[in-house]
Structure 1
Amino acid sequence: MSLVGPLRKELADSVSSCRVLVVGAGGIGCELLKNLVLTGFRNIEVIDLDTIDVSNLNRQFLFQKKHVGKSKAQVAKESVVQFCPKANITAYHDSIMNPDYSVEFFRNFALVMNALDNRAARNHVNRMCLAADIPLIESGTAGYLGQVTIIKKGLTECYECQPKPTQKTFPGCTIRNTPSEPIHCIVWAKYLFNQLFGEEDADQEVSPDTADPEAAWDPSEAAARATASEQDGDIKRVSTKDWARSTGYDPVKLFNKLFKDDIMYLLTMDKLWRKRKAPLPLEWSELQKQEEMLGGGLKDQHVLGVYGYSQLFSESVKTLSSQLAERGAGAELVWDKDDPPAMDFVTAAANLRMHVFSMNMKSRFDIKSMAGNIIPAIATTNAVIAGLIVLEALKVLSGDLDQCCTVSPPTPSSLSLRM
Structure 2
Amino acid sequence: MSYVCVCSLSTCRVLVVGAGGIGCELLKNLVLTGFKNIEVIDLDIIDVSNLNRQFLFQKKHVGKSKAQVAKESVLQFCPTANITAYHDSIMNPDYNVEFFRNFMLVMNALDNRAARNHVNRMCLAADIPLIESGTAGYLGQVTVIKKGLTECYECQPKPTQKTFPGCTIRNTPSEPIHCIVWAKYLFNQLFGEEDADQEVSPDTADPEASWNPAETEARAMASETDGDIKRVSTKEWARSTGYDPAKLFNKLFKDDIMYLLTMDKLWKKRKAPLPLDWHQLERRPQGEVKAVGLKDQQVLGVWGYCQLFQHSIETLRSELQEKGDGAELVWDKDDAPALDFVTAAANLRMHIFSMTMKSRFDIKSMAGNIIPAIATTNAIIAGLIVMEGLKVVSGELESCRTVRPQRHTSSRCRAILWRWSPVLNLTYHFTVANVSF
Note if contact 1:294-1:304 (Cα within 8 Å) is conserved in structure 2: no
Q: Which has the higher helix share?
A: 1
Which residue of structure 1 aligns with residue 333 of structure 2?
A: 337
Q: Displacement of 1:282 after TM fit? A: 1.8
Q: Decide which of 380, 386, 392 is 1:384's aligned counterpart.
A: 380
Which residue of structure 2 aligns with residue 178 of structure 1?
A: 172
Note if contact 1:148-1:389 (Cα within 8 Å) is conserved in structure 2: yes
CA gap of 1:9–1:276, structure 2 versus 1, over 3 A, is: closer
Say yes or no: does 1:97 pair with 2:98: no
Note if contact 1:186-1:371 (Cα within 8 Å) is conserved in structure 2: yes
Note if contact 2:10-2:34 (Cα within 8 Å) is conserved in structure 1: yes
Q: Displacement of 1:37 after TM fit? A: 1.3
Q: Decide which of 309, 313, 319 is 2:315's aligned counterpart.
A: 319
Q: Decide which of 57, 64, 67 is 2:61's aligned counterpart.
A: 67
Q: Displacement of 1:161 after TM fit? A: 0.3
- Mean Cα deviation higher: 328-337 or 351-360: 328-337
C-alpha distance in structure 1 between counterparts of 2:276 and 2:8, whole Å: 70
CA root-mean-square deviation: 2.9
Q: Decide which of 55, 71, 81 is 1:77's aligned counterpart.
A: 71
Say yes or no: does 1:356 pair with 2:352: yes
CA gap of 1:245–1:136, structure 2 versus 1, over 3 A, is: closer
C-alpha distance in structure 2 between counterparts of 1:269 and 1:147, whole Å: 48
Which residue of structure 2 aligns with residue 302 of structure 1?
A: 298
C-alpha distance in structure 1 between counterparts of 2:172 and 2:109, whole Å: 41
C-alpha deviations, 1:12-51, integer Å up to 9, x for none? 9733332222222222111111111111222222223333
Which residue of structure 2 aligns with residue 250 of structure 1?
A: 244
Note if contact 2:123-2:130 (Cα within 8 Å) is conserved in structure 1: yes
CA gap of 1:74–1:242, structure 2 versus 1, over 3 A, is: closer
Look up the equivalent residue of 2:38 and give its one-letter code.
I
Q: Which has the higher strand share?
A: 2
Q: Displacement of 1:393 after TM fit? A: 1.3
Say yes or no: does 1:271 pair with 2:272: no
Q: Which runs of 5+ in 1 are unaligned?
A: 1-7, 231-235
Q: Decide which of 181, 185, 189 is 1:187's aligned counterpart.
A: 181
Q: Decide which of 34, 38, 43 is 2:28's aligned counterpart.
A: 34
Secondary structure class of the residue paired with 1:16: coil
Note if contact 1:384-1:409 (Cα within 8 Å) is conserved in structure 2: no
Look up the equivalent residue of 1:414 and give its one-letter code.
A
Say yes or no: does 1:291 pair with 2:286: yes
Note if contact 2:4-2:396 (Cα within 8 Å) is conserved in structure 1: no
Q: Displacement of 1:62 after TM fit? A: 1.9
Note if contact 1:290-1:307 (Cα within 8 Å) is conserved in structure 2: no
CA gap of 1:272–1:28, structure 2 versus 1, over 3 A, is: same
Q: Displacement of 1:150 after TM fit? A: 0.7
Q: Displacement of 1:190 after TM fit? A: 1.3
What TM-score does the superposition give when structure 1 sets the normalisation length? 0.87
Q: Decide which of 101, 112, 115 is 1:107's aligned counterpart.
A: 101
Which residue of structure 1 aligns with residue 80 of structure 2?
A: 86
C-alpha distance in structure 1 between counterparts of 2:216 and 2:368, whole Å: 44
What TM-score does the superposition give when structure 2 sets the normalisation length? 0.83
Note if contact 2:205-2:216 (Cα within 8 Å) is conserved in structure 1: no
Q: Displacement of 1:143 after TM fit? A: 2.2
C-alpha distance in structure 1 between counterparts of 2:37 and 2:318, whole Å: 53
Q: Which runs of 5+ in 2 are unaligned?
A: 409-413, 417-433
Secondary structure class of the residue paired with 1:238: coil
C-alpha distance in structure 2 between counterparts of 1:135 and 1:110, whole Å: 7
Identity %: 82
Secondary structure class of the residue paired with 1:258: helix
Look up the equivalent residue of 1:47 and give its one-letter code.
I
Which residue of structure 2 aligns with residue 140 of structure 1?
A: 134
Which residue of structure 1 aligns with residue 200 of structure 2?
A: 206
Note if contact 1:211-1:269 (Cα within 8 Å) is conserved in structure 2: no
Q: Displacement of 1:344 after TM fit? A: 1.6
Look up the equivalent residue of 1:320 and give its one-letter code.
L
C-alpha deviations, 1:41-65, integer Å up to 9, x for none? 2222222333333333322222233
Note if contact 2:274-2:353 (Cα within 8 Å) is conserved in structure 1: yes
Q: Displacement of 1:212 after TM fit? A: 5.1
C-alpha distance in structure 1 between counterparts of 2:69 and 2:373, whole Å: 20
How many residues were matched structurally?
A: 404
Note if contact 2:15-2:40 (Cα within 8 Å) is conserved in structure 1: yes
Q: Displacement of 1:340 after TM fit? A: 2.2
Q: Displacement of 1:151 after TM fit? A: 0.7
Note if contact 1:336-1:342 (Cα within 8 Å) is conserved in structure 2: yes
CA gap of 1:38–1:12, structure 2 versus 1, over 3 A, is: farther
Q: Displacement of 1:140 after TM fit? A: 0.9
Note if contact 1:256-1:284 (Cα within 8 Å) is conserved in structure 2: yes
Say yes or no: does 1:121 pair with 2:115: yes
Q: Displacement of 1:364 after TM fit? A: 0.9
Q: Displacement of 1:324 after TM fit? A: 3.0
CA gap of 1:183–1:151, structure 2 versus 1, over 3 A, is: same
CA gap of 1:34–1:256, structure 2 versus 1, over 3 A, is: same
Which residue of structure 2 aligns with residue 414 of structure 1?
A: 415
Look up the equivalent residue of 2:75 and give its one-letter code.
V
CA gap of 1:352–1:12, structure 2 versus 1, over 3 A, is: same
Q: Displacement of 1:86 after TM fit? A: 2.7
C-alpha deviations, 1:58-114, integer Å up to 9, x for none? 222222333334333333222222212232323333333333433333333322211
CA gap of 1:212–1:165, structure 2 versus 1, over 3 A, is: closer
